[in-house]
A and B are shown apart, each in its own frame.
Chain A
Amino acid sequence: MAEQQRLAVSTFSLMRNTPPQIHRAQKDLKLRMQEGTIVSFTTVHHVPEGFPTGPRVIGLIELEDGSKVTGQLITDNRQPTTIGMKVLPKMRLSRINNQGLRTYDVSYEIPVQQTVKNEFPGYVLALTGPSGVGKTTVSILLSTKVGKYVERVPILTTREPKEGDEDEYTHVSSEEFLELKNSGKLATFTSIPSRNEKRLYGYKIKDIEAIWKQKKIPVIITEMNLLQGLASHYGRRSILSFGLMPPGKSKRQMLSALLHRLRERGRDTEQQIEDRLKNAEEDLKFFKERRELFDDLIVNDNLDTVVGHLGGLVLERMKA
């Protein structure tokens, strides 16, 4: 049930949504599972009822066999989408109807442009999850427990230092950040808009490599865009990737667990907490939609268990 609630279940009378209609639509899905080229694309800002809210990028795609289709485009925010780009098909859960019938549809993904890496640089432990789920706490405990083998990578950010930041951030100005980015010194970066400004976040290649030199595993606290960037920079197999989920059987319970933690932490104003919860919903959705980016999704209901599990994994890798 929790899964179903995470996707918008809504009543939309005019979409093809009855079992026989969905059944017929499934028949030609296979035909659309082809590589293609973008003929045109647009961002629809008011999506029809029944689809996830928020802007949706839709492409007109010419497939390999010459036929054309329309489909959702999964864009890569590190390179601008242009007409003529190649795309790969990807089956995604599109919506769930009122009877609980799950409809899958083909969307098209712009492959991340990357040079194939033959060498394996080493492991990176990445913790992804909504704010307040306990990523920082887990990483601190991990470095006390198996500190010999792991070290945290500082997050490079342009946002103002705050009380309670501890040592997890390296603060730089926007100019310095862009300088590092343009000279290729960042493993990955992203910009997260906030109410007043655009904040940039990223990791320095130098910081990560320094940890490898000490024969340790870098621990990275990340979010969805940074995780995708890391996976494309170092290769997916280099990332020991874990999603941390708040405890709770439904999305509502999970969000309420986060709300309590954020309030207890006392770092944010109510306004900021509201924003963080909105982002948290996106994060929870991301776990589901991009499950392949995670080795495991862990519910953070007991810190000892989580840290024990991750610590054990680190020891296993170090011994191997």
Chain B
Amino acid sequence: MRSPIYLTGTGQTRFGEHWDMSIKDLMEEAIDSAIESAQCTALDIDMVVVANMLGEVASDQAHLGAMAASLLPHHPPALRAEAACASGSVALHTACALLESGKAETVLVIGVEKMTDISPAKIAAGLMGAADAEKDAPSGLTFPGIFGLIASRYMHEFNLTREQLNLVSARHHENAMSNPFAQFRKEIPAEAISMSPKVADPLCMLDCSPISDGAAAVILSTKKENPIRIAASQLATDTLSITDRPTITSFAATKDAMAAALEEAGINQSDIDHLELHDCFSIAALISLEDMGFANPGEGISLYEKKGKMTINQSGGLKACGHPVAATGIKQIIDISKQMKRSGRTYGLAHNFGGAAATCGVHILSHA
């Protein structure tokens, strides 16, 4: 970071099914609570960056930048960022660039997704927009299908058993018990995971993150000092289609973004105290741990078999906390900041990807 960027305000809605709230209502609740928690007023906000993927598909609503700005008294300039499930981290990265360039001094970043208004089939088709429409979709693949292919190959290469994979979702559900904003605050025993209905072999329903509504907002500033700072903000991309990659059991974008983020923050991965990673499907959690260097290839599961010093998805992750896609990347920042404030430890990392990690954002937060 060329100049220090402070996390001055955070706010979010509960993640889950909000039948009585529109996309605008969700944004309003998150923005209000972010401003309330910040050391500044609404009028200090110079720009707004909105993260959203499915506004057009689910709410017939585009132009969300102006919609978010209209919730503020002075209608600041606003724009929208989209990168499927990585929309949140792309918006954060954009905000950091605006702050570093001096174009703005205080930026509101809000991620919002309204997913429960339309049928599951329609939302699944919308989410499939994160893959390559010409190469992946015509075979009849769905997103769970893509991760089914990945999981099936991973289990073949590394002899991971179905029983071991159960530990991932079970841990995330256990963690969500203490998160008041989580969609599912319910413990689920490991053996129940593989007993749930099959979605895309070998993945079952409880391996998949849910359909959720929700919004999360943060206020970043170069002027309003706060003990919590953004130590690194990095993005990386990979081919849109998994058919164009040499391997599907490792994601190059995660590796690239991670390496760049560690360099920017000037730390090693062993310095990370709290991790929020992108577990859109249970198998993605294992692959991500390996790609970020927390485990050797094929050994990601060891971090779920026993707990280590670093916490993983203390919020419940995407599985149990919920996954309103564009809000997730921003929610991770909020959770990391809470975890650092509570533990007093120094570094937290948020790992957020879109599609099958065709875009990956890694943000490192530091606590003074």
**Is B135 in contact with A70, judged by CB distance below 8 angstroms?**
yes
- Asked whether B144 is an interface residue with its Cβ less than 8 Å from the other chain, the reply is yes
Query: Which residue on chain A has the smallest CB distance to residue B120?
Result: A46
**Is A83 in contact with B201, judged by CB distance below 8 angstroms?**
no
Bound form: Cα–Cα A37–B150 in Å: 16
| B354 / chain A contacts, CB cutoff of 8 Å | none
**Is B198 in contact with A45, judged by CB distance below 8 angstroms?**
yes
**Is A40 in contact with B150, judged by CB distance below 8 angstroms?**
yes
| B121 / chain A contacts, CB cutoff of 8 Å | 46, 48-49
Of the candidate stretches B9-17, B170-178, B242-250, B326-334, the one touching chain A is B242-250
**Is B135 in contact with A14, judged by CB distance below 8 angstroms?**
no
Q: Which of A44-73 contact B (CB under 8 A)?
A: 44-49, 51, 56, 58-60, 67-72
Bound form: Cα–Cα A67–B140 in Å: 19
**Is B139 in contact with A58, judged by CB distance below 8 angstroms?**
yes
Of the candidate stretches B75-83, B101-109, B124-132, B219-227, the one touching chain A is B124-132
Bound form: Cα–Cα A67–B245 in Å: 9
Q: Which of A68-83 contact B (CB under 8 A)?
A: 68-72, 83
- Asked whether B142 is an interface residue with its Cβ less than 8 Å from the other chain, the reply is yes
- Asked whether B308 is an interface residue with its Cβ less than 8 Å from the other chain, the reply is no
Give the residue of A14, A49, A60 whose beta carbon is less than 8 angstroms from that of B153: A60
Query: Which residue on chain A has the smallest CB distance to residue B121?
Result: A49
| A58 / chain B contacts, CB cutoff of 8 Å | 139-141, 145, 149
Bound form: Cα–Cα A320–B135 in Å: 51
- Asked whether B357 is an interface residue with its Cβ less than 8 Å from the other chain, the reply is no
**Is A83 in contact with B153, judged by CB distance below 8 angstroms?**
yes
- Asked whether B70 is an interface residue with its Cβ less than 8 Å from the other chain, the reply is no
Give the residue of B125, B129, B136, B200 whose beta carbon is less than 8 angstroms from that of A43: B200
- Asked whether A39 is an interface residue with its Cβ less than 8 Å from the other chain, the reply is yes
**Is B138 in contact with A105, judged by CB distance below 8 angstroms?**
yes
Given the contacts A45-B198, A60-B153, A60-B242, A39 and B137 also touching, CB distance less than 8 Å? no
- Asked whether A16 is an interface residue with its Cβ less than 8 Å from the other chain, the reply is yes
Q: How distant is B58 from chain A, measured CB to nearest CB, in Å?
A: 12
| A45 / chain B contacts, CB cutoff of 8 Å | 197-200
- Asked whether B60 is an interface residue with its Cβ less than 8 Å from the other chain, the reply is no
- Asked whether A225 is an interface residue with its Cβ less than 8 Å from the other chain, the reply is no
Given the contacts A14-B126, A42-B200, A45-B198, A68 and B139 also touching, CB distance less than 8 Å? no
Q: How distant is B132 from chain A, measured CB to nearest CB, in Å?
A: 9
- Asked whether A303 is an interface residue with its Cβ less than 8 Å from the other chain, the reply is no
| B126 / chain A contacts, CB cutoff of 8 Å | 14
- Asked whether A94 is an interface residue with its Cβ less than 8 Å from the other chain, the reply is yes
Query: Which residue on chain A has the smallest CB distance to residue B129?
Result: A14
**Is B137 in contact with A44, judged by CB distance below 8 angstroms?**
no
Q: Which of B103-124 contact A (CB under 8 A)?
A: 120-122, 124
| A56 / chain B contacts, CB cutoff of 8 Å | 140
Bound form: Cα–Cα A56–B120 in Å: 18
Q: How distant is B276 from chain A, measured CB to nearest CB, in Å?
A: 27
- Asked whether A286 is an interface residue with its Cβ less than 8 Å from the other chain, the reply is no
Query: Which residue on chain B has the smallest CB distance to residue A14?
Result: B125
| B135 / chain A contacts, CB cutoff of 8 Å | 69-70
**Is B197 in contact with A15, judged by CB distance below 8 angstroms?**
no
- How many residue pairs at the A-B interface have CB separations less than 8 Å? 108
- Asked whether A315 is an interface residue with its Cβ less than 8 Å from the other chain, the reply is no
**Is B140 in contact with A48, judged by CB distance below 8 angstroms?**
yes
- Asked whether B152 is an interface residue with its Cβ less than 8 Å from the other chain, the reply is yes
| A14 / chain B contacts, CB cutoff of 8 Å | 57, 122, 125-126, 128-129
Bound form: Cα–Cα A230–B256 in Å: 54
| A46 / chain B contacts, CB cutoff of 8 Å | 120-121, 124, 142, 144, 199
Query: Which residue on chain A has the smallest CB distance to residue B247?
Result: A39
Bound form: Cα–Cα A285–B245 in Å: 36
| B149 / chain A contacts, CB cutoff of 8 Å | 40-42, 58-60, 70
| B245 / chain A contacts, CB cutoff of 8 Å | 68
**Is B144 in contact with A44, judged by CB distance below 8 angstroms?**
yes
**Is A49 in contact with B152, judged by CB distance below 8 angstroms?**
no
**Is A51 in contact with B199, judged by CB distance below 8 angstroms?**
no
- Asked whether B133 is an interface residue with its Cβ less than 8 Å from the other chain, the reply is yes
**Is A48 in contact with B144, judged by CB distance below 8 angstroms?**
no
**Is A48 in contact with B124, judged by CB distance below 8 angstroms?**
yes
**Is B156 in contact with A44, judged by CB distance below 8 angstroms?**
no
Q: How distant is B277 from chain A, measured CB to nearest CB, in Å?
A: 22
- Asked whether B20 is an interface residue with its Cβ less than 8 Å from the other chain, the reply is no
Bound form: Cα–Cα A46–B198 in Å: 9
**Is B137 in contact with A42, judged by CB distance below 8 angstroms?**
no
**Is B200 in contact with A12, judged by CB distance below 8 angstroms?**
no
Query: Which residue on chain A has the smallest CB distance to residue B132?
Result: A70
**Is A83 in contact with B152, judged by CB distance below 8 angstroms?**
yes
- Asked whether A25 is an interface residue with its Cβ less than 8 Å from the other chain, the reply is yes
**Is B134 in contact with A16, judged by CB distance below 8 angstroms?**
yes
**Is B244 in contact with A48, judged by CB distance below 8 angstroms?**
no
With most chain A CB atoms within 10 A of its CB, the pick from B57, B134, B142, B202 is: B142
Excluding A42-B151, A68-B242, 9 further A-B contacts by CB distance (< 8 Å) are A13-B125, A14-B57, A14-B122, A40-B150, A41-B152, A45-B197, A58-B149, A60-B243, A70-B243
Can you report 11 A-B residue pairs in the complex whose CB atoms are below 8 A from each other?
A13-B125, A14-B122, A16-B137, A39-B248, A43-B198, A45-B197, A58-B140, A58-B145, A58-B149, A67-B243, A70-B136
7 nearest A-B residue pairs (beta carbon): A42-B148, A40-B153, A14-B125, A68-B243, A44-B145, A70-B139, A40-B149
Residue positions of A touching B, CB distance < 8 A: 12-16, 24-25, 39-49, 51, 56, 58-60, 67-72, 83, 94, 105
